[in-house]
Chains A and B, each alone.
Chain A
Amino acid sequence: MKRLKKYLILTEQSLQVAMTYRVRFFTTMVTGLIQVLALYYIWKVVYAGQKSLGGYTLSEMVTYIFISYAVRNLYTFNTERKISENIRDGSVIIDLIRPLNYQLARFFESLGSVIFEGILVGIIVIAVGFGIFHIKGPASFMYGTLFAISLTFSVLINFSLSYAVGLLSFSTTSIFGFINAKRFISNFLSGGLIPLTFFPPWLHKIAFMLPFHAMVSSPISIYLGQIEAYQIANVLLEQLFWVIILWLAGYFMWAWASRKITIHGG
């Protein structure tokens, strides 16, 4: 408990920092609404004259767009950027002299923006969805609860991936290429922009072999009640599997990276 406390204060303070960026909160929100709106228009045109595509009716698709935005946005891409900036400008030195586990510290730190920008913006966007676009709620109370659990795993997977990518800064001095590559691949293969059921079978198979779908597609399919109750356990276990694998990957990368450090400046 005491140990947890010294990590929780990191969350509290990063939340404080996030809250000083009020204008950024506003732009994130507007950006989010714009993105959702764009997708809405595109899908409306796509559905012109069609009842159902890829197993979704238009109204299900609209729900999909809003929920998937909220899920994708839950974890912003700041972790890897922060880690790489810290490494580039040498301020990682401050983290190295503190009696904290680097990985855990970064995780708890990232929760600050998850709470402020992720959850809050998500709630606003979804509220707009309910109010104006009449999106659907979760299939049932139980599905809603399981959706929340699935979201937690999604955040953990997201963090672990970002962390691993961020640590690459120790071997490539500029990391933006990796960050972008990861973003593009995960947008494409997570089902964030288009449901994976639209994919041709071979691509569908590839997507399900990689961790990205567990970040967006899995929680949404629970929310929409597309998964039979007895299969949900499988979906959650699969997410948990990726959490463990990726967390361990990050752990070993840090063990390797922290011996390679050279600090610039000073």
Chain B
Amino acid sequence: MARYIRLYWMMWIQGIQAQIEYKSSFIIGNVATILGQVTGIALVWVLFQKIGHLNGWSLPEIMLIYGIAALPYGFFELFFNGVWSLNRYIRMGDFDRLLVRPGSSLFFILADQPMLHGLGNIATGTVIILLASRQLDIRWDMCNLLILGFMVAWGTLIYISINTITACTSFWFVASGTNFLYLGQRFRDFTVYPLDIYASPLRILLTWVIPFAFTSFFPSTYFLDRDDYRVFVYLIPVIAVLFFGIASFVWRIGVNRYESTGS
């Protein structure tokens, strides 16, 4: 374990160095992420110029959900973004390089390409949360901060799991240049809004199949004192661990498949 942490740290530093190499891209990358968050929330703001509430949710409440959604996403990008390279690695035959290393190949791929622009997501998310909390009267005392910290950590694990599973499709559809990761990510777009605005099939999907709701909406309900969703808040760690288990399993099947077809 200690070895993995040390190794991870080294790989992370190297990955970061590779990015700092390109100074302007570091800056513009973060500017772009911030821009993405800002335009996203601006759309909601524009909409609220015309309406008073969205299915009973006020603008600050939606901002809180939006801000919390940005955190695990940002941490995922900053630390575990490597699964995005899986498709390219397999296509170019570079995946062998990871397989011959001593240790878990999933670990190596996750640590492979940290994206510094995750920082932009974390920063904007924090600012949006703070703006929302001012109007909602949420106090960020030690207790709340700790709880948020845990939720973000579990949320990051959920991101790792979902993205690993969708990335694994590359083991099956190599030549087609397809990336199911994009498809999975599109479902993330839903979860920056309250879950109950969607029809029930979509709600079930976002809760039990692609459980992004556990990374943003359910955590937010805790801070908004919506007791009707409390059960789902307790389920956050369960879902995270369960899906990580599924992800590891799918990964193993994928790798075995890769080895047996390897050219």
Residues of A within 8 A of B (CB): 20-24, 27, 30-31, 34-35, 37-38, 41-42, 45-46, 48, 50, 53-54, 172-178, 180-181, 184-185, 187-188, 193-194, 198-200, 203
The B54-99 residues at the A interface (CB cut-off 8 A) are 54-55
* Bound-complex Cα distance A50 to B52 (A): 11
**Are B199 and A46 in contact (CB-based, < 8 A)?**
no
Q: Given A37-B202, A173-B22, A177-B30, list of 12 further CB < 8 A pairs? A: A20-B175, A22-B176, A27-B179, A27-B180, A27-B182, A38-B189, A42-B197, A50-B51, A54-B50, A172-B24, A177-B31, A198-B49
**Are B186 and A181 in contact (CB-based, < 8 A)?**
no
**Are B25 and A177 in contact (CB-based, < 8 A)?**
yes
Nearest A residue to B45, CB-CB: A200
Which of A31, A45, A180, A198 meets B186, CB within 8 Å? A31
Contacts of B39 in A (CB 8 A): 184-185, 187-188
* Bound-complex Cα distance A45 to B36 (A): 24
Mask: chain B, 15-50; 1 = CB below 8 Å from A; 0 = not? 000010110110111111101100110110011011
Nearest A residue to B176, CB-CB: A23
Query: With an 8 A cutoff between CB atoms, is B173 at the interface?
Result: yes
**Are B198 and A173 in contact (CB-based, < 8 A)?**
no
Nearest A residue to B189, CB-CB: A38
**Are A46 and B178 in contact (CB-based, < 8 A)?**
no
Which of B21, B29, B49, B199 meets A176, CB within 8 Å? B29
**Are A46 and B176 in contact (CB-based, < 8 A)?**
no
Majority-rule SS of B interface residues:
helix
* Bound-complex Cα distance A119 to B220 (A): 40
Which of A41, A42, A172 meets B28, CB within 8 Å? A172
**Are A35 and B183 in contact (CB-based, < 8 A)?**
no
**Are B50 and A48 in contact (CB-based, < 8 A)?**
no
Contacts of A46 in B (CB 8 A): 47, 51, 54
In which size bucket is the chain B interface?
A: 35 or more
**Are B117 and A177 in contact (CB-based, < 8 A)?**
yes
Which of B27, B28, B46, B180 meets A198, CB within 8 Å? B46
Nearest A residue to B187, CB-CB: A34
**Are A180 and B189 in contact (CB-based, < 8 A)?**
no
* Bound-complex Cα distance A199 to B51 (A): 13
Contacts of A174 in B (CB 8 A): 19, 22, 25, 29
Closest 8 CB pairs of A and B: A177-B28, A177-B29, A174-B25, A181-B32, A188-B39, A180-B32, A23-B176, A23-B178
**Are A27 and B178 in contact (CB-based, < 8 A)?**
yes
**Are B178 and A173 in contact (CB-based, < 8 A)?**
no
Q: How far is the CB of B254 from chain A (nearest CB, A)?
A: 16
Q: How far is the CB of A152 from chain B (nearest CB, A)?
A: 27
* Bound-complex Cα distance A251 to B25 (A): 24
Contacts of A20 in B (CB 8 A): 175-176
Q: How far is the CB of B94 from chain A (nearest CB, A)?
A: 13
Q: Max chain A CB contacts within 10 Å: which of B19, B32, B182?
A: B32
